[in-house]
Amino acid sequence: MLPIKTLTVLGTGVLGSQIAYQAAFHGFAVTAYDIDDDALEKARARFARLAGIYQTANVAGASEGKAAAALENLRLTTDLAGAVAEADLVIEAVPELIELKRDVYRKLAELAPAKTIFATNSSTLLPSDLKDSTGRPDRFLALHYANNIWAQNIAEVMGTGETATEVFDAVVEFARNSGLEPIEIKKEKAGYVLNSLLVPLLNAAAGLLLQGVASPETIDKTWRIATGAPSGPFQIYDVVGLTTAYNIASSSPNAGSQAFAQYLKANYIDQGKLGVATGEGFYKY
């Protein structure tokens, strides 16, 4: 098994900061890279907030000093060369712009030692879209986290046809060692496993609402009672955030999705109701 002991996370946005913090919480020495001091300042605030969240959410050990100790495992830097010089694994969590990501990989290819494994956290691109820029397609794959890592603790591991088996296995082991359940995906698939399941459910719920079949409350109640799930589809929409739901729906060629995007905009987004994050979406919080 290839040893993964040191981790570098590129990008300290919502998910990048969670990825870095989660690994630090589980004892990894983590370097978090972002482009300037402003970004690092925000990252520091995110990490401090996460330490509080892990305690509030009762993540095992968080209240016994582990949440605070995690902060000491995190090093912040704007120096890319220094950030990756000793990394066993680099997780890239930069914005979802293909040319930006390719540019990052071209730089990484030069700066990182030959041993370093690269993993993209992209939700919307396939690793095959990026592999040619890495200079090491056998040591490159996707490692995809869901938002609110501490609660939805899965990490989807998905290689390309060129990813070496030992690299795949090492990243699976890393995910497990950082407190997540690794989801081993055997073949490239847009949306990985989770979104491939979730999106059709959410689309179906949107269709029922738009067709006037039933209210969000009724649809959610049906799902909760009949399947035993804790949340119905509109509760999930509120957690995902209605802006994200709008962006996905409006970029679909499907007429129903377009109609749902307009519905979300007119009834929720234009009124500042963006879901759980703003205190109101389909439900009030």
Nearer CB in complex with a copy of itself: 118/192: 192
Sole window of 18-26, 78-86, 167-175, 202-210 interacting with a copy of itself (rule: CB under 8 A): 202-210
Sole window of 73-81, 129-137, 180-188, 248-256 interacting with a copy of itself (rule: CB under 8 A): 180-188
Q: Between the CA of residue 88 and those of 84, 210, 230, 260, what are the distances in Å?
A: 8, 49, 38, 44
Nearer CB in complex with a copy of itself: 215/251: 215
Per CB under 8 A, contacts with a copy of itself among 20-39 are none
Closest distance between a copy of itself and the C-beta of residue 168, in Å? 13
92 in contact with a copy of itself (CB under 8 A): no
Edge to edge, the sheet with strand 89-92 lists: 74-77, 29-33, 6-10, 89-92, 117-120, 140-145, 154-159, 181-185
109 in contact with a copy of itself (CB under 8 A): no
In the beta sheet, which residues pair with residue 181? 154
Q: Which of 110, 226, 253, 284 binds a copy of itself (CB under 8 A)?
A: 226
DSSP the chain: -----EEEEE--SHHHHHHHHHHHHTT-EEEEE-SSHHHHHHHHHHHHHHHHHHHHTT-TTGGGTHHHHHHHTEEEES-HHHHHTT-SEEEE---S-HHHHHHHHHHHHHHS-TT-EEEE--SSS-GGGTGGGTS-GGGEEEEEEPSSTTTS-EEEEEE-TTS-HHHHHHHHHHHHHTT-EEEEESS--TTTTHHHHHHHHHHHHHHHHHTTS--HHHHHHHHHHHH--SS-HHHHHHHH-HHHHHHHHHTS--HHHHHHHHHHHHHTGGGT--BGGGTBSSSB-
Closest distance between a copy of itself and the C-beta of residue 262, in Å? 20
Per CB under 8 A, contacts with a copy of itself among 230-249 are 230-231, 233, 236
Q: Which of 35, 97, 100, 197 binds a copy of itself (CB under 8 A)?
A: 197
98 in contact with a copy of itself (CB under 8 A): no
Sole window of 29-37, 130-138, 194-202, 242-250 interacting with a copy of itself (rule: CB under 8 A): 194-202
Per CB under 8 A, contacts with a copy of itself among 127-156 are 146, 152-154, 156
185 in contact with a copy of itself (CB under 8 A): yes
Closest distance between a copy of itself and the C-beta of residue 42, in Å? 27
Sole window of 49-57, 186-194, 251-259, 270-278 interacting with a copy of itself (rule: CB under 8 A): 186-194
Nearer CB in complex with a copy of itself: 124/196: 196
Residues that bind a copy of itself (CB under 8 A): 146, 152-154, 156, 181, 183-187, 189, 193-194, 196-201, 203-205, 207-208, 211-215, 218-219, 221-223, 225-231, 233, 236
